Amino acid sequence: MRSDFPSLYAFGRLLYGSAASILFGEEGVGVSEVFNSVGSRQGCSWGSFFYALSIHPYLVQLADEFPDLLIVAYCDDVHIVGPPARAVQAYLRWEHLYVHEIQGELRHSKGKCFAPNSSAEELRDAGLPSNMPIVHDGLRILGAPVGSATFMRGFAAARVAEIAEDFDVLARMPSLQLQHCLVSGALQHRLNHLLRNIPGGDLHVFGDLRTKYDEDLLSVVRRLTGLPQLSSLSRQLAALPLRHGGLGYRTWSNTADCAFLASYVRTSFIFPTMFPTLATHYPSVLSLTDARSAQAASGPALNAFLALTRLAADAPSVYEVLRDDGSKPLRHLQHALSTVHDDAAHIRIVESIIRQDDYRHPRHLALHNSLCGDPTTWGLVPNDPATTFSNRVTEVAIRRRLLLPLQPNTGSERRQCLSCLHFSDEVIAHGGASQVDVYGDHAIRCHRGLKERTSRWHDPLVRQFYSLARMVSAPCAMEVRDLIPESNARPDLVLYSIDNAAPDVLTDVRTSDVTGLKECISAAGTAGTAADKAELDKNSKWLPLTRPLNFEFIPLVVESGGRIGDAALNFINRLSYLAGASPSDRTAFTTYAQQRIRALTVKGTAEVILARLPSRDSPCGAAPRDSVPLAASMPRGASRPPSRYQGTPPQASLPVWLRAIQGSFRDSSTRVSAHISNTIPAIPTTSPEA
């Protein structure tokens, strides 16, 4: 330790510089003490470290005595690679060193001999212990299969079956939100190590396993939504990362090629230094011109070349990633490859959304753009009432995130809002959308439901902004009356200036529905425009009142998909300067604040929808689990009050905004354009005194 790890030497002497005292308590005898200086102490994390240090000199000696063999070890796993006869001799020599020098014991039955081209008789004649198992197809090394394609496929099938069983057991958990947390945060990542070590993109070998695993993984999504089947679009959305408005479910299809290619590139980078004799079998994947040259190098080189070819067909920018990040650690490289692959997949999905949307009222694209502004809610672990969702709230929220209907969309019945008495066969003025839709939009924007929207969505946001201000010890108050003379305007939150040099800050919270008639088309064209419009509306109302009184006004807008307006983001950023002087303190505060606001929006919008249930005497009766009852269902021909929105919307040609969006997605190699920008707008660095 002193020569190889000098910085740890003093701490090692503190732990093991003297014998450990072991106490034994016996009835009638009392407490006995025995001193022990052999082995590691119970529960000490340095046990494996000391063991590796103790056997390392003898492994070096063994490698010097057998220079024609490859001897590698990880902790207590020692691997001797070479011709059978020489490998057996090296193993017997290692046994001698281990027994006589280290005073240990090797159990031959716990080892394994992998000999794909040698018979058992030849190996026994060479001196292999009789009780050591012999395999010819492959073996597991550090959790990865090494051997024939048949062995790797069988190993992968067993792992997929284990994970599928975990998915089934998870269904016993009563909370749907916690089921999602465990799958997205833990269970789905069990496959990643396997996919780094097998060519999972080879459909001839692993095609059926890919289909089975993806179906098992997406069965969790079906359970969360309460639906027996998912549409093709919703399946693709579920596999997108959270920053692209998805659920972050990493399917085999989206992960296999990125994981294996990253593993190969990392191997080809370190082998010239660590194992020069093997470096020729792992050439740089960028140097491979065709499949024939790759196959001439090695099987892994061919599989890496094919994986790169498949990825480049969807996202040509993978070549740029390999040139820039080829020397980075494996985890970083795989993340970079997955990022460009997900970006390209998102472009294709947005094109699919555009094709399915009604261009007169593109509510799917408008909501999706807003959902892309919430990359945190479905990655949270619930730890308090604000971040804990009931099963019904989880079901509604995930259906809306996957653009799924909340009610069966059949043409044989009509739905009626029991508050405003509008019917589903009425259309929004100058738009093709139904007044009472199956997605819950009407429940949010109905003018008769403002009370629920205020109490379940708006007011929790006001309290959260107030709580954030209190966290940083800013003097503040909610709902201050008589602040503006001769006006009934009452700001939601007031931040008082500490000195007279800066004005008091007045804020007003606004909840913006991106699927509304006035906001939908602009919100579909450019992400965040619904929040921008709401900010302008608030400014036009409040600035004439606040400027004469030397007040600063900030509109705090949050869209129904969770995207936070620029002014609100800047307000949070200004509060962060009061949270701490270091950048890490400010980042922690802004992250926490945005997470809470987005989670409250997801929960609030879902609760508003669930609160708009039919009355007891409604014709629809009780609602089944897979049909969230937003409006009463009525048979066709039933009498209804006259609609205020009569007539058929004009059959206009394709609008300019849709042509612009379609044009921005023609080249799949480009990044997502500003029309569907899913990143939070840059926050101006403004000091608290500004």
pLDDT at 437: 84
Q: What is the pLDDT of residues 358-406, one digit of tens each?
A: 888 899 999 999 999 999 999 999 999 999 999 999 999 999 999 999 8
Q: What is the pLDDT of residues 126-176, one digit of tens each?
A: 999 999 999 999 999 999 999 999 999 999 999 999 999 999 999 999 999
The mean-pLDDT minimum among 90-104, 435-449, 456-470, 676-690 falls in 676-690
> Tell me, what's the pLDDT at 447?
84
Quote the pLDDT of residue 15: 83
Task: Check residue 429 and give its pLDDT.
Answer: 60
CA distance 532 to 529: 5
For range 456-480, the mean pLDDT:
94
> What single DSSP character describes residue 427?
B
pLDDT for res 147:
93
* pLDDT at 370 (0 to 100): 97
- Is the Cα torsion angle 671, 676, 680, 684 positive or negative in sign? positive
Q: Is the model's pLDDT at 654 over the cut of 50?
A: no
- Residue 446, pLDDT score: 86
Q: Is the pLDDT assigned to residue 683 strictly greater than 90?
A: no
Task: Provide the percentage of residues in the chain whose pLDDT is more than 70.
Answer: 87
Looking at residue 613, what is its pLDDT? Answer: 56
Our measurement of the distance from residue 347's CA atom to the centroid of its chain's CA atoms, rounded to an integer in Å, reads 18
Residue 271 has pLDDT above 80, yes or no: yes
Distance, in Å, from the CA atom of 100 to the CA atom of 95, rounded to the nearest integer, reads: 8
Helical axes 203-225 vs 391-401, angle rounded to 10°: 130
Whether residue 666 is predicted with pLDDT greater than 80 in this model: the reply is no
Q: What is the pLDDT of residue 421?
A: 80
pTM for the structure as a whole: 0.84
Please choose, from the candidates 362, 372, 389, 346, the residue with its C-alpha nearest in 3D space to the C-alpha of residue 563.
372
Instruction: Examine the pLDDT at 614 and tell me if it is beyond 50.
Output: no
Angle (nearest 5°) at CA 422 between 421 and 423: 120
Q: Is the pLDDT of residue 555 over 80?
A: yes
Give mean pLDDT, residues 39-57: 85
Q: What is the pLDDT of residue 433?
A: 72
- pLDDT, mean over the chain: 86
- Going by pLDDT thresholds of 50, 70 and 90, the confidence category of residue 411 is low
Segment among 43-47, 453-457, 474-478 with least mean pLDDT: 43-47
Question: CA–CA separation, 351 vs 540, rounded Å?
Answer: 36
Tens digits of residue pLDDT in 193-207:
999 999 999 999 999
Q: Closest Cα to residue 512, out of 367, 664, 407?
A: 367
pLDDT tens digits, one per residue of 225-267: 999 999 999 999 999 999 999 999 999 999 999 999 999 999 9
Looking at residue 428, its pLDDT comes to: 72
Position with higher pLDDT, 650 vs 63:
63
Selected residue with higher pLDDT from 488 and 524: 524
Are the C-beta atoms of residues 396 and 225 closer than 8 Å to each other? Answer: no
Q: Where are the alpha helices (DSSP H) in 358-402?
A: 363-371, 391-401
What would the mean pLDDT of 17-43 be, rounded to a whole number?
A: 82
pLDDT, tens digit, 9 for 90 and up, residues 564-610: 999 999 999 999 999 988 999 999 999 999 999 999 999 999 999 99
Answer yes or no: is pLDDT of 551 > 60: yes
pLDDT of 674 over the 70 cut: no
pLDDT band for position 422 (cuts 50, 70, 90): confident
Lowest mean pLDDT among 268-282, 359-373, 424-438: 424-438
Beta pairing, strands 30-36 & 632-635? unpaired
